[in-house]
């Protein structure tokens, strides 16, 4: 029996998608084989791949100035490939430090170029996000990097900053949660395992003119422009993940697109935040304007109850609510595929638990 999965990633995938995949698993269409066993250069696979790419472009309204890549290596590899590709000219880049993931991005980039940390919220344990108005941009830097949604701290920078410099964003835990203006970014990357599909696929959206200026001295496998030239088939792509991402994109389209999910995601987040804020038993440490819509951390008034809470959650079919080991407490990740009903059941359980132990 499937239960409510609040994992931060790999995360819940729509049951409709999983049922379709199950249906097609042994044989895709009348091809005589599963999609996993098929050459990525076959015409059947080509159609699957092209359709998925187009649906992604449609969903995010990606302009012609940008291209979409289906890569591997996760967001972590992007922490390295971004500075390797774009740091070779100015050799300096601006980074915003707003949580664990941007910290890792900074640490990796520092091995390759000079990082200027233009804003940080580490002083208050990442319980807020540095306001873009106060980012102290360098005069000379190759790009500005930030993480709009810090998955571990549940901290978000909701407004896209208007900067004169190329903007690069790690959107691993927020992509496809609502419409956005892709044209404001030179490069966006996201691991698939939250809002897109299974782990193993990494999405990149990059401005073509930006990609063309990548570092020619790098091996091809590390160059964005080479992946773009070969339609993400420079080598064997993660074919199953790409196929499943395509299913998720269709499901998002059929459900009403990103406008639908924006509304649903805000409703879910509001339900949880409102309950937490009105309770003296649970609390959320994040500055109200910077609260994530996707990942909601919360702590119990009595830390000694953490393990009881988690155990009882599991008994109720509410899984993976333990906060990240670096911050403790609880965290509910409520990506697109988490229905309103799942969040309502979590809140109902929290009420009962509070009544019993509060």
Ligand X SMILES: Cc1ncc(COP(=O)(O)O)c(C=O)c1O
Residues at the contact surface with ligand X, assessed by CB under 6 A: 9, 74-76, 101, 147, 151, 170, 172-173, 191
Complex with ligand X: residue 66 or 194, whichever CB lies closer = 194
Complex with ligand X: residue 329 or 353, whichever CB lies closer = 329
Provide the minimum distance between the beta carbon of 129 and ligand X in the complex, in angstroms, as a whole number. Answer: 13
Complex with ligand X: residue 9 or 297, whichever CB lies closer = 9
62/10 Cα distance (integer angstroms): 25
The residues, any chain, with a CB within 8 Å of residue 257's CB and separated by 6 or more, are: 59
Provide the minimum distance between the beta carbon of 94 and ligand X in the complex, in angstroms, as a whole number. Answer: 18
Provide the minimum distance between the beta carbon of 240 and ligand X in the complex, in angstroms, as a whole number. Answer: 16
Residue labelled with tokens 């937490």: 276
Complex with ligand X: residue 45 or 121, whichever CB lies closer = 121
Bridge partner residues of 115 (DSSP) = 93
Complex with ligand X: residue 186 or 292, whichever CB lies closer = 292
219/197 Cα distance (integer angstroms): 28
Dig out the tokens for 346 from the structure: 């979590």
The residues carrying an active-site annotation are 101, 170, 194
Three-state secondary structure of the chain? CCCEECCCCCCCCCHHHHHHHHHHCCCCCCCCCCHHHCCCCCHHHHHHHHHHHHHHHHHHCCCCCEEEEEECCHHHHHHHHHHHHHCCCCCEEEEEECCHHHHHHHHHHCCCCEEEEEEECHHHCCCCCCCHHHCCCCCCCCCEEECCEECCCCEECCCCCCCCCCEEEECCCCCCCCCCCHHHCCEEEEECCCCCCCCCCEEEEEEHHHHCCCCCCCCHHHCHHHHHHCCCCCCCCCHHHHHHHHHHHHHHHHHCHHHHHHHHHHHHHHHHHHHHHCCCCEECCCCHHHECCCEEEEEECCHHHHHHHHHHHHHCCEECCECCCCCCCEEEECCCCCCHHHHHHHHHHHHHHHHHHC
Distance of CA 340 to the CA centre of its chain: 20
Provide the minimum distance between the beta carbon of 259 and ligand X in the complex, in angstroms, as a whole number. Answer: 24
91/217 Cα distance (integer angstroms): 14
Complex with ligand X: residue 203 or 350, whichever CB lies closer = 203
Q: Are 130 and 35 in contact (CB under 8 A)?
A: no
Complex with ligand X: residue 84 or 300, whichever CB lies closer = 84
Provide the minimum distance between the beta carbon of 125 and ligand X in the complex, in angstroms, as a whole number. Answer: 17
Provide the minimum distance between the beta carbon of 321 and ligand X in the complex, in angstroms, as a whole number. Answer: 16
Provide the minimum distance between the beta carbon of 171 and ligand X in the complex, in angstroms, as a whole number. Answer: 8
């Amino acid at each position: 029996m499937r239960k409510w999965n609040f994992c931060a990633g790999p995360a819940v995938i729509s049951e409709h998608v999983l049922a379709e995949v199950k249906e097609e698993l042994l044989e895709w269409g009348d091809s005589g084989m599963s999609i996993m066993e098929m050459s990525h250069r076959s015409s059947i696979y080509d159609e699957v791949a092209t359709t998925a790419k187009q649906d992604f472009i449609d969903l995010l309204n990606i302009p012609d100035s940008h291209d979409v890549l289906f890569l591997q290596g996760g967001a972590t590899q992007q922490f390295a490939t971004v500075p390797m590709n774009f740091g070779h000219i100015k050799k300096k880049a601006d980074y915003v430090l707003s949580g664990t993931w941007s910290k890792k991005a900074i640490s990796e980039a520092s091995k390759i170029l000079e990082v200027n940390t233009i804003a940080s919220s580490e002083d208050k344990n990442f319980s807020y996000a540095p306001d873009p108005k106060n980012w102290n941009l360098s005069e000379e830097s190759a790009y500005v990097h930030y993480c709009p949604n810090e998955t571990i701290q549940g901290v978000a920078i909701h407004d896209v900053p208007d900067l004169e410099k190329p903007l690069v964003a790690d959107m691993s835990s927020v992509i496809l949660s609502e419409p956005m203006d892709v044209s404001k970014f030179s490069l966006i990357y996201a691991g698939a395992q939250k809002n897109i599909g299974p782990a193993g696929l990494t999405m990149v959206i990059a401005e073509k003119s930006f990609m063309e200026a990548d570092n020619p001295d790098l091996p091809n496998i590390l160059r964005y422009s080479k992946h773009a030239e070969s339609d993400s088939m420079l080598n064997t792509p993660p074919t199953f993940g790409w196929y499943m991402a395509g299913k998720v994109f269709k499901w998002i389209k059929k459900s009403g697109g990103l406008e639908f999910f924006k509304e649903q995601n805000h409703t879910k987040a509001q339900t949880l935040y409102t309950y937490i804020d009105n309770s003296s038993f649970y609390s959320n440490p994040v500055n109200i304007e910077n609260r994530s819509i996707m990942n909601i951390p919360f702590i119990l008034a009595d830390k000694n109850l953490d393990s009881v809470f988690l155990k009882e959650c599991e008994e109720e079919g509410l899984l993976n609510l333990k906060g990240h080991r670096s911050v403790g407490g609880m965290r509910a990740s409520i990506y697109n595929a988490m229905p309103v009903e799942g969040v309502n059941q979590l809140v109902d359980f929290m009420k009962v638990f509070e009544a019993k132990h509060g």
